[in-house]
Amino acid sequence: MGIVQRDFQTPIFKQDNSILCLTANETYLPEEKPCVRCGRCVQSCPMNLLPMKIEQYVNRNNIKMLKKLSVSSCMECGCCAFVCPVKRPLVQHMRLGKQKEGEIKNA
């Protein structure tokens, strides 16, 4: 869990429970490949969400379906991305979906 920080100027708070310092090789992101529909992301989600469906609707900017699929319930634990055999950036899509949903609420 957590957000990547690129510099040492980011403050650390009481609720932060760890800091990981990784090399460039450890943070390498592979080329994005299409979903193979294995269902591992759904099985691993502690909130019983449908990460691959949410990703599709984020890419389509379909806010109505994002609300229906409860994208705001995602706690961004990363389980879905960790178990994905093709290493899809599912957590990033979840964050983007929550951001898009929030923009509509604030508009």
Single out the residue of 59, 39, 56 nearest to residue 48, CA to CA: 39
Sign of CA dihedral 60, 61, 62, 67: positive
- pLDDT tens digits, residue range 9-66? 888 888 878 888 888 888 777 788 999 999 999 999 999 999 999 999 999 999 999 9
> In what helix (H) or strand (E) does residue 94 lie, and over which residues does it extend?
helix 90-106
Q: How far apart are CA 49 and CA 65, in angstroms?
A: 13
Does position 2 have pLDDT exceeding 70, yes or no? no
CB of 51 closer than 8 Å to CB of 42: yes
pTM (2 d.p.): 0.75
Does position 107 have pLDDT exceeding 70, yes or no? no
Q: For position 5, what pLDDT does the model report? A: 77
Provide mean pLDDT across the span 58-80: 94
Place of tokens 């100027």: 9
